[in-house]
Amino acid sequence: MSDTHHPGRRSVLAAGAASAASLGASWLLSGCTGASAAPTLPTDEKQGTPDRGGTLRIARPPASDAETLDPASALSAYEYLGALYNRLVRIGADGTVAPDLAESWEPDARARTWTFRLRKGVTFHDGRRLTSADAAYTLRHILDEKTASPQAAVLAPLVDLDRLRTPDAHTLVVPLKTPNAEFPSLLTHYNCYVIPDGSAGGISRTGIGTGPFKLESFTPAGPGRITAYEGHWAGRPVLDAISFYSVADMSARSNALLAGQVDLLSQTNLDFATARVVAASDRATIARVENGQWYVLPMLTTEKPFTDVRVRQAMKLAYDPEHVVKVALQGAGTAGWDNPVPPSDPAHITTHPEHDPEQAKYLLKQAGHEGLTVDLHTSSYDPVFTPMALAYQDSARRAGIRIRVKSAAADSYYTQIWMKKPLMATYWFTGRPVDQLLTQVFRSGSSYNETAWSDKDFDALLDRARQETDDKRRRELYGEAQTFVIEKGGAITPMFADRLVGLSRKVRGYAEYGFEFDYLGIGLKGA
């Protein structure tokens, strides 16, 4: 659910902690005591059957007052998207591309033209029937320069809009400029929800889609409400409605949950101490999403000393990822070894350079930076940032690297620090297909390339991988691309963290994958 816009919500949250809607009370978090074991979601909570009806109350972080319901926008109201809209294809529970509005899809022999067959009988919330014209319009809207969609950088080099066609009401043909065997996976991104033909002028306010819920009210950076759409093609959702509240402070969101005033904390990764308090309470519990976020210390490769690849390599060899996981996450995660592709991805490679502080010292001496001192910027924006920074500081000391940890204000962190300071802390949500991940975060010129790393050989390798139609060989090429990122790139990736989601003990059917939870099946017991 770090494109926290996300890198999942980073652009939205970064735009500023605008006026948050109060829930009408002041909550005080009790001391960090509670269950000593790692918090987990009890079996009966996770698998129990919810009652029909009821309203789920979601507390979400603050967003920009320019927040919009246009899914293609960099300022989209992320929590609403999966409820209001559907995509052509989505990420299934097993991590593979699964049908959504498209029942099937197939490439030509070269993977240069893709044909999508749409479901029949699907209607938008205003009663209009879904056709291939809507899907074609959505692609054009994403790629329109005026939209300024983050996904445009991924799709624009591929989609040949001049040859895009709709031979009938339920067939969309997408010609590509170059072959791409992974193309459908790129349409699983949250910017790719389908909107009605011609709706760009009003979609930011109307939220008209084909999703299981329809819009009742929406206030940018504030409260909103959606209600069950009776005509949804996959059936009516369990819930009657979902109410959203914008709460600026993570402690306030957690305490709202403990007070029984909200049922779910969206886009909030609880720190381990708070998770223990929540898990030990009578009203709330924890859903643990394995490796749900990946944490990064991006080095800006356009700023000294990180312009030198030897310094970047030394920064990676200098620290022990296992130590960072132990200290920053108390074991609730997996060492990243500077590879951003999660271990659950079929393309993930396990080979990596070992922690080697002596080699790090050697490389720094060769680069003329013996006894390197650098500032590492962090913030209370995310509870893991500072513990991660301090753990890295402690571990890198063995290589003679002095890290000065500097904390910045949470409400301006993603406007004043991210992609501006030479070394900082950040995170992303996992769930991107491998081509989307490597293209969006590491390819030259991408707006989300937070290290500003540019390598023509890496870009060419991505092009070869996506054009390869043999699955085994394509996976090998993506493995080579990961090696590039590990050995030459500017991203220090210490770990994948289990995302700890706070929810009421009344919640049933919580399942999260592919950037969102299951809006159809989630519900409440005793609603």
Q: Using CA atoms, how far apart are residues 136 and 131, in angstroms rounded to an integer? A: 9
pLDDT at 5: 40
By the 8 A CB rule, do 48 and 238 touch? Answer: no
Provide mean pLDDT across the span 261-279. Answer: 86
High-pLDDT (> 90) share of the chain, %: 70
Q: Using CA atoms, how far apart are residues 388 and 50, in angstroms rounded to an integer? A: 38
Q: Grade residue 232 by pLDDT with cuts at 50, 70 and 90.
A: very high
Q: Grade residue 39 by pLDDT with cuts at 50, 70 and 90.
A: very low
pLDDT digits (tens, 9 = 90+) for 366-391: 999 999 999 999 998 888 999 999 99
pLDDT at 93: 77
Q: Grade residue 32 by pLDDT with cuts at 50, 70 and 90.
A: very low
Q: Grade residue 29 by pLDDT with cuts at 50, 70 and 90.
A: very low
pLDDT at 33: 32
Rg (CA), the chain: 23
Q: Using CA atoms, how far apart are residues 315 and 360, in angstroms rounded to an integer? A: 7
pLDDT at 92: 84
pLDDT digits (tens, 9 = 90+) for 290-345: 888 899 999 999 999 999 999 999 999 999 999 999 999 888 899 999 999 999 88
The one-letter code for the residue type at 106 is E
By the 8 A CB rule, do 70 and 200 touch? Answer: yes
Burial 381-409 (b: 16+ CB within 10 A, else e): bbbbbbbbbbbbbebbeebbbebebeebe
Provide mean pLDDT across the span 384-412. Answer: 94
Backbone φ and ψ of 352, nearest 5°: -165, 155
Task: Examine the pLDDT at 493 and tell me if it is beyond 60.
Answer: yes
The one-letter code for the residue type at 111 is A
Provide mean pLDDT across the span 96-116. Answer: 95
Task: Examine the pLDDT at 44 and tell me if it is beyond 90.
Answer: no
Which of 48, 21, 152, 16 lies closest to 523 in space, CA to CA?
A: 48
Task: Examine the pLDDT at 353 and tell me if it is beyond 80.
Answer: yes
Domain 10-68+205-289+500-524 has CATH 1.10.10.10: no
Pick the more confident residue, 181 or 9.
181
pLDDT at 21: 36
Q: Using CA atoms, how far apart are residues 96 and 349, in angstroms rounded to an integer? A: 18
Pick the more confident residue, 4 or 307.
307
Q: 123 forms bridges with which residues in the sheet?
A: 129
pLDDT at 387: 94
Best-predicted range by mean pLDDT among 30-34, 119-123, 505-509? 119-123
Task: Examine the pLDDT at 257 and tell me if it is beyond 60.
Answer: yes
Q: Which residues contact 228 (CB under 8 A, 6 or more apart)?
A: 212, 213, 214, 236, 237, 239, 240, 241
Provide mean pLDDT across the span 261-281. Answer: 86
Pick the more confident residue, 157 or 210.
210
Burial of 144 (0-12, 13-18, 19+ CB in 10 A): middle
Task: Examine the pLDDT at 527 and tell me if it is beyond 80.
Answer: no
pLDDT at 40: 46
pLDDT at 364: 97
Q: Grade residue 425 by pLDDT with cuts at 50, 70 and 90.
A: very high
Q: Using CA atoms, how far apart are residues 106 and 111, in angstroms rounded to an integer? A: 8
Q: Using CA atoms, how far apart are residues 401 and 472, in angstroms rounded to an integer? A: 41
pLDDT at 24: 35
pLDDT at 388: 96
Q: Using CA atoms, how far apart are residues 106 and 101, in angstroms rounded to an integer? A: 15
pLDDT digits (tens, 9 = 90+) for 79-90: 999 999 999 999
Q: Using CA atoms, how far apart are residues 455 and 481, in angstroms rounded to an integer? A: 11
Alpha helices (H) in 102-249, listed in sequence order: 132-143, 152-155, 183-186, 203-206
Q: Grade residue 440 by pLDDT with cuts at 50, 70 and 90.
A: confident
Task: Examine the pLDDT at 223 and tell me if it is beyond 80.
Answer: yes
Provide mean pLDDT across the span 150-171. Answer: 94
pLDDT at 114: 98
pLDDT at 275: 87
Q: Using CA atoms, how far apart are residues 66 and 68, in angstroms rounded to an integer? A: 6
Which of 148, 125, 123 lies closest to 200 in space, CA to CA?
A: 148
Pick the more confident residue, 3 or 416.
416
Residue with tokens 């809009």: 161
Task: Examine the pLDDT at 282 and tell me if it is beyond 50.
Answer: yes
Q: Which residues contact 242 (CB under 8 A, 6 or more apart)?
A: 55, 56, 57, 58, 83, 213, 225, 226, 519
CB atoms within 10 A of CB 25: 10
DSSP 50: P
Q: Grade residue 203 by pLDDT with cuts at 50, 70 and 90.
A: very high
Per-chain mean pLDDT for the chain: 88
Domains of the chain by residue range: 10-68+205-289+500-524
3-state helix vs strand vs coil in the chain, percent to 5: 30, 25, 50
Pick the more confident residue, 405 or 274.
405
| β pairing state of 102-107 and 333-335 | unpaired
pLDDT at 46: 52
Pick the more confident residue, 13 or 474.
474
Task: Examine the pLDDT at 139 and tell me if it is beyond 70.
Answer: yes
- Of 387-396, 448-457, 512-521, the range with the lowest mean pLDDT is 512-521
Q: Grade residue 31 by pLDDT with cuts at 50, 70 and 90.
A: very low
- Of 229-233, 266-270, 499-503, the range with the lowest mean pLDDT is 266-270
